Amino acid sequence: MQNTNGSKNMTEGNVKKLILQFAIPIFFSQLFQQLYNTADSLIVGRFLGKGPLAAVSSSGPLIFLLVSFFTGTAAGAGVVISRYFGAKDEERVKRAVHTNVAFGLVAGLVVTVIGVIFTPSILKLMRTDPSVLPDSIAYFRYYFLGVLANVMYNIFTSIMNAVGDSRRPMIYLIGSSVLNILLDLLFIGVFRMGVAWAAIATTISQLVSALLCLKRLLRKGTVYQISFRQVRFHNDMLREILKYGLPTGVQNSVIGLANVILQSNVNSFGEDAMAGYGSYVKLEGFAFLPITCFSMAMTTFIGQNLGAGNYGRAKEGARFGIVMALVLAETIGVIMFLAVPQLVAMFNADPEVVRLGTKQGRTEALFYFLLAFSHIIAGICRGAGKGIVPMIIMLSVWCVFRIAYITVMMHIVHDIGLIYWAYPLTWGISSVIYLVYYVKSDWVHGYGRKEAEA
């Protein structure tokens, strides 16, 4: 049921229709978010060459590592808000919203300081090729100077998504994505101002999207209205946000750490490997879109319905989300497998860059259904207040096992193809564990028992 203030009650109405209506705007939001992230690499690679492309491409794992802990923890507020929104407890919704905003402001400032100060040291630890190190440092530092806007955008969208409003974040992100591309073309394509200006273009665009979200959230008469005078930490809400969000933050960080270590191993193969790997990772982000949109939809749908005690409805929605994510992810995987050489060449046409990017794509693409299954069950767990489950699984499989595998294999055979296999291998292991948990556990009672539906 759509309200006039943009929020959506997902505890009533057709389950499939509601999930699709919520997931489709998220899909387009994530599509433009990926275009947003890809524009820097695509334009830098085309206009400045593979050296600057390698510098920008190496940014992904490090940015994810430093930002994802705080955005993941803040996502816990989305779980809390969706739960109380489903239970129609407006007072707790408001307190959770203002606590989340306070958390985002503090987190954004912390990430800014860490990123600006420690960028050179971290890049050297990652064995970044000396030929691209100056460009990498410049890109990272300018990016982190504006990271507060990125963190707050994620905070604001988590609030709107939690109450079922995924359409407006989509509109705002489309506008800022177009702005980012235009600024990249102006700074890099026209004026050839260097890779640092790609980061500046991203920062400006992120600030615009965050301000648009804030304008919406300041609107009077909504259950999620922000009042600057009420922005502070409410201890009870902070405890709940940390309870449900901290596992996701830790999960994101350990995955980010594993990917930084993996990136450092890729860096040891030189500039071509860095450019090929970075180009494919940008492309793979598009394959994650159905995974992301249905995972986020599940978190909100499950949270609202379990908050209202609709256990049977929650299970019905979970089954639909799983099927949709698997089908869409594998369809994209087949397309990626066939088209990856041409897609990598869009970033840089150097034959060795294309060869390495293609090799990675054809190693991973047909296994996207495993990645989809792991993420969709993780989204269900978070919505059910069981965020500790995906944290443990990701920590043990996507971090510890992945790092151990890479470390052992690189000592036995220094072959970059073995690094590529780390992904489908760990996706498969985590999917088996998630399947057992989903089938065998009583995940619907994460918030305690209420009168179940007949």
Q: Write the pLDDT tens digit of every residue in 138-158.
A: 888 888 888 999 889 889 988
Among all chains, which residue has been given the structure tokens 């046409």? Answer: 349
Query: Is 343 a residue whose pLDDT tops 60?
Result: yes
205-262 pLDDT per residue, tens = 989 999 999 999 998 878 889 999 999 999 989 888 888 888 878 877 777 778 778 8
Our count of domains for the chain comes to 1
155 belongs to a structural domain: yes
Q: Give the confidence band of 263 by pLDDT, cuts at 50, 70, 90.
A: confident
305 belongs to a structural domain: yes
Beta strands in 373-439 (DSSP E): none
What range does the domain containing 174 cover? 15-444
Q: How far apart are CA 131 and CA 270, in angstroms?
A: 10
In sequence order, the 6+-apart residues with CB closer than 8 A to the CB of 66 are 111, 114, 115, 144, 147, 256
451 belongs to a structural domain: no
Q: Give the confidence band of 124 by pLDDT, cuts at 50, 70, 90.
A: confident
Between residues 270 and 129, which one has the greater pLDDT?
270
331 belongs to a structural domain: yes
Strand partners, 8: 2
How is residue 446 written in tokens?
A: 């994460």
Strand partners, 2: 8
What is the secondary structure of 2-70 as a DSSP string? B-TTS-B-TTSS-HHHHHHHHHHHHHHHHHHHHHHHHHHHHHHHHHH-HHHHHHHHTHHHHHHHHHHHH
289 belongs to a structural domain: yes
277-289 pLDDT per residue, tens = 888 888 888 778 7
Q: How far apart are CA 113 and CA 70, in angstroms?
A: 14
368 belongs to a structural domain: yes
Q: Counting runs of H as helices and runs of E as strands, what totals does the chain give? A: 18, 0
Q: How far apart are CA 384 and CA 253, in angstroms?
A: 21
402 belongs to a structural domain: yes
| Mean pLDDT value across residues 116-142 | 84
4 belongs to a structural domain: no
Between residues 119 and 425, which one has the greater pLDDT?
425
